[in-house]
Amino acid sequence: MSQPCPVLRGTSVFLAAHVIENLASIHAWYNDNEIQRLSGGIGSPISLEASSKRLERWMNPPDDQRHFAIHRCVDSRLVGFLHLAEIDPVDRVCKIGIVIGERACWGQGCGSEAIRLACEYAFRELALFRVSAEAFADNPRSYRMLTRAGLVQEGMQRAAVVRDEGRVDVYMFGLLRTDWGESGA
């Protein structure tokens, strides 16, 4: 049985449960070639039906996942989505993934704030000890977003992802509960 999705409020964005009204935006983002390339997506168009099924899974996730819609505080506009996945209550770890689909919001700090809110939730509410994330070397905005959110680059997987132009490195990031508590993030 899936856990209820709380509303997490920041100064410029808030995270909330997905609703069916998010379908049009999510479908558009999953069919945007640049967004898919930057986020390691499937790379080919998906049908509205497939997007609908994905959204349904996000609205009713298994216990080891939490899915959030990212909205701007100023107008409640949907700007992206975020998930905590592979939540392990024994090792107290999870992985975070994020997509800011609204290009007008790229570089505006929405992603960093959303990650900070999700990390606070992971540490306080889920009692996790570690949150990890990845950034592709050809996506410098993602790298900056994760570091601004307080995550630390812990390593790199060389030539781990295939792109049209060749192989790309993947940077590994992490944030420990002890780091988060010290930084106040």
Would you kindly state where each structural domain of the chain is located, as residue ranges?
Answer: 8-183
CA distances from 174 to 121, 128, 132, 139, 147 (A): 15, 12, 4, 17, 10
Contacts of 45 (CB under 8 A, 6+ apart): 31
What phi and psi, each to the nearest 5 degrees, are found at residue 151? -75, 150
Q: Structure tokens of 142? A: 């993602």
CATH architecture under which domain 8-183 falls? 3-Layer(aba) Sandwich (3.40)
Confidence label for 1 from pLDDT (cuts 50, 70 and 90): very low
Cα atoms in the Cβ-side hemisphere of radius 13 Å centred on 47? 3
pTM of this prediction?
Answer: 0.91
CA distances from 92 to 6, 123, 160 (A): 20, 9, 26
Q: Structure tokens of 168? A: 């790309």
pLDDT value of residue 76: 94
What does the pLDDT look like over 113-162, one tens digit per residue?
A: 999 999 999 999 999 999 999 999 988 999 999 999 999 999 999 998 88
CA-closest candidate to residue 86, choices 62, 68, 70: 62
Lowest mean pLDDT among 17-31, 82-96, 123-137, 158-172: 158-172
